[in-house]
Structure 1
Amino acid sequence: MRILVSVDMEGIAGVVSAQQTIKGEASYEEARLWMTDEVTAAVSACKSVLPSCSVKVCDGHASKDNLLLELLPSEVEVAKQDDGTAMMCGVETCDLVIMLGYHGMARPSPEEGETAGGCQWGFLGSGSFLAHTNVPRWVECLSVNGIPLSEGLHNALLAKHFGVKLLAYSGTDVGVEEMRTSFPSLPAVVAVKSTEDNLVGVSPKEEIPKHIEKLKECVVTALKNSGLLNQPSESTLDCSSAPMPASDGPSEKQKEKDSHAGTEQSVQSRLSALPDIPLPSSDLQYKIRLRRLVDRKEFDTAVQTVREAQERETLSEPGPLQRTEETGDTAASGSASAASASPGPGLAAVCVSEDGRTLSFTAENSLQGFRTYRALLAALRRLPVRKD
């Protein structure tokens, strides 16, 4: 069994302000330790139930180098940020994913004509601690097929592409609520409670040890209730055909190989019974509502910069973008990708709305959608931020 632990920082127990999640701030180092402790707890829980499982960890926050690697269990593999799947790096080689430290999604202000309400972490008074979706200063709302998605839900959609199931979740209270709109019975633990002030969370330091124990219990219970532990052992599997004379029968090595194949098939069968995010696997309609206007010429220039950087540095980000001559929309070179996380799948053609506030595209599958979205974020980060 292969398990991915994807970890963010805003929903880590003990984090109650944005400063704690920013490298260079005085309180950041302490938050790094808490983040590392939660990952260690999740790994310990997995190993206590499945001693032979392999665990891969993906640091998904900001610069992706927040975890104190020297404090992680020695058997943990740390995923490298080189396959274009961002917070889910390594997902294509795993069976299950655990999400830690996640938070609520960015939401549009309820007041007509208002954008961020003066706060990049969602609109003021939304009651969702440090709510955002990937790039706080730009993304007001990400939706797929009309359904608003948090980072956690979007990552779950990517996991579905590879047949990877969500096992457990920990983060802010609103983050948990949002995940349960698609996963009603999701084993989850609230690490940080929100207040009416988006920039202030509630998670007392003295409660961290209790949270760690709850997290371990959550993961252990999730594994035990998943049905994955009822695998037939190799000694009880009989993958050979009808009895034959010993001299003509399969070798012991072949029996072992067949037995292993049978076990793998059983695992995949049990995994398929676990719930998925209720979105289709193809023809996904993406819509990204922006907090502020995007200038089309500047956006095209930023897209071109991303493309040139990818070609020059051979970055393992989404495949190079190019501008279509007929419409002036942003499109992608290449063709649609199969279920592979290797660099360079074709990206979807992107449209910019007349008012300059919405980007939209249709993805053939969630991997193409995820990569196209990541490429757009890279372009948006290069744009100057102006008031509308």
Structure 2
Amino acid sequence: MKVFISADIEGTAGIADWDEALKERRDYSEFRELMTAEVVAACKGARAAGAKEILIKDAHQTARNLIVSKLPDYASIVRGWSGHPHVMMFGLDRSFDAALFTGYHAKAGTEANPLAHTMNDRISRLIINDEVVSEFTVNAYTSALLGVPPVFLSGDRGICDDARALVPAIGTVAVSEGFGRAALSISPARAIAEIREGVEKALSRDLTACRLDLPKHFDVEIEFNNPTDAYRASWYPGTEHPRERTLRFVSDDYFEVLRALRFLTV
């Protein structure tokens, strides 16, 4: 079995403030360790379920967060941003049997995580086919594009609920819940244990139950907080600018959607 892990940090147990998630901030080092511990737990669960190869994509901010010396010897890691449209899923291909997501967070505009956002803090909402979506939705569709089922996610309760709405059979571990600018979290020790157990259970089932069918058409709207950001990005080929803060891109090809998002959201 060959497994891919996309690892973010804002859905790591205990996180409640940007000081804990950004590399240049004072509290980052502690939560970098906790992010790493949750990824290692996912690796151990995958190994127990029979995984022979594990590829991790460090998928937060600089993409250089995970403490590589703590990763197991059977795992490989992609660090840094290649510039490829797969972004947080870079390295995934059709040879993988399953995709896992750790440390994922609620979408922009929700209260499920004090750090809720989608891609960056300049975007107020990302909408695909009239539904407000999260980074998980974008990345799960990337997985589906490559024929790889998304089988497990850990993060805040909001993103776990969204993941199950999109992929009903997906295994989830909710480690926290947002209340305004506060977060109620289980302990890191419990999160680590539940992620390990959850990943092993998710990978020990019939993985085809988590296969996700891509929509046949994509109508994408990006709502920015600032109209100047929308204007600057509106020159991407094929992009419409229907309202001051909004861009629209339409395609039947999801890779073209990913390519557009790669340039429209930077």
Check whether TM > 0.5: yes
Is 2:86 aligned against 1:85? yes
2:35 corresponding residue in structure 1: 35
Query: Which stretch of structure 1 is more off in the superposition, 363-372 or 97-106?
Result: 363-372
RMSD value, Cα: 1.9
How far residue 373 of structure 1 moved from its aligned partner, in angstroms, is 0.6
Which of 291, 294, 301 is the equivalent residue of 2:225? 291
One-letter amino acid of the structure 2 residue matched with residue 213 of structure 1? A
**Equivalent residue number for residue 264 of structure 2:** 376
Structure 1, gaps ≥5 residues long: 108-121, 228-270, 301-328, 332-348, 379-388
Structure-to-structure mapping, 1:307-346, within 5 angstroms: 329-331=235-237
Match of 2:171 among 187, 190, 202: 187
Report the equivalent of 1:171. 155
- 8 Å contact from structure 2 (residues 128, 219) kept in 1: yes
CA deviation after TM superposition for structure 1 residue 363, in Å: 2.2
For residue 279 of structure 1, report the CA deviation from its aligned partner.
4.2
* Letter aligned with residue 134 of structure 1: M
The one-character-per-residue Cα deviations of 1:61-118 (angstroms, maximum 9, x if unpaired) are 01100100111112211125323311111112422110000011112xxxxxxxxxxx
Alignment check: 8 A CA contact 2:168 2:210 kept? no
Which residue of the other structure, out of 209, 215, 220, is the alignment partner of 2:200? 220
Tell me which protein shows more strand as a share of its residues. Answer: 2
Deviations 1:289-345 (A, max 9, x none): 122213776446xxxxxxxxxxxxxxxxxxxxxxxxxxxx531xxxxxxxxxxxxxx
Alpha-carbon distance, 1:167 to partner = 1.1
Question: Which of 130, 146, 155 is equivalent to 1:162?
Answer: 146
Q: Which residue type is aligned with residue 350 of structure 1?
A: T
Q: What's the secondary structure of 1:158's corresponding residue?
A: helix
**CA deviation after TM superposition for structure 1 residue 278, in Å:** 5.4
Which residue pairs with 2:251 in the alignment? 363
Does the aligned pair in 2 maintain the 1:129–1:172 contact within 8 Å? no
Cα distance 1:295–1:94, how it changes in 2: closer, same or farther (>3 A)? Answer: closer
Q: Which residue is 2:189 aligned to?
A: 209
- May I ask how many residue pairs the two structures share in their alignment? 263
Contact kept? 2:169, 2:209, Cα under 8 Å: no
- Tell me if the contact between 1:153 and 1:277 (Cα under 8 Å) persists in the aligned partners: no
For normalisation by structure 1, the TM-score amounts to 0.64
Shift of 1:274: 2.6
Q: Which residue of 1 aligns with 2:102?
A: 100
1:35: Cα distance to partner? 0.6
Report if aligned partners of 2:151, 2:210 keep a CA contact under 8 Å in 1. no
Partner of 1:57: 56
Q: State the SS of the aligned residue for 1:57.
A: strand
Q: Where does structure 2 lack aligned partners over 5 or more consecutive residues? A: none
Q: Letter of the aligned partner of 2:92 in structure 1?
A: V
Residue 129 (structure 1) aligned with residue 114 (structure 2): yes
SS in 2 for 1:91: coil
Q: Among the aligned pairs, what percent are the same residue?
A: 25
Query: SS of 2:189's equivalent?
Result: helix
Deviations 1:133-181 (A, max 9, x none): 0011x21111111122100111001111100111100001111111122
Question: In 1, Cα distance between the equivalents of 2:254 and 2:87?
Answer: 14
What SS does the corresponding residue of 1:181 show, helix, strand or coil? helix
Residues 95, 367 of structure 1: alpha-carbon distance in 2 compared, 3 angstrom cutoff: farther
Whose relative contact order is higher, 1 or 2, with alpha carbons under 8 Å and at least 6 apart?
A: 2
Aligned residues of 2:236 and 2:263 also touching (Cα < 8 A): no
| Aligned counterparts of 1:153 and 1:296: Cα–Cα separation in 2 | 22
Q: Please report how far the alpha carbon of residue 203 of structure 1 lies from its aligned counterpart in structure 2 after TM superposition.
A: 2.1
CA positional deviation for 1:224 = 1.6
Deviation at 1:364, TM superposition (A): 2.9
Contact 2:41 2:195 survives alignment (8 Å): yes
Q: Which TM-score applies when normalising by structure 2?
A: 0.92
Instruction: Report if aligned partners of 1:295, 1:356 keep a CA contact under 8 Å in 2.
Output: no
User: Which residue does the alignment assign to 1:148?
Assistant: 132
Q: CA deviation at 1:352?
A: 1.2
1-structure distance, mates of 2:28, 2:221: 34
Letter in 1 for 2:254: S
1:292 and 1:150 map into 2 onto residues whose CA distance is: 20
- The structure with the largest alpha-carbon Rg is 1
**Separation (CA, whole Å) in 2 of partners of 1:161 and 1:296:** 27
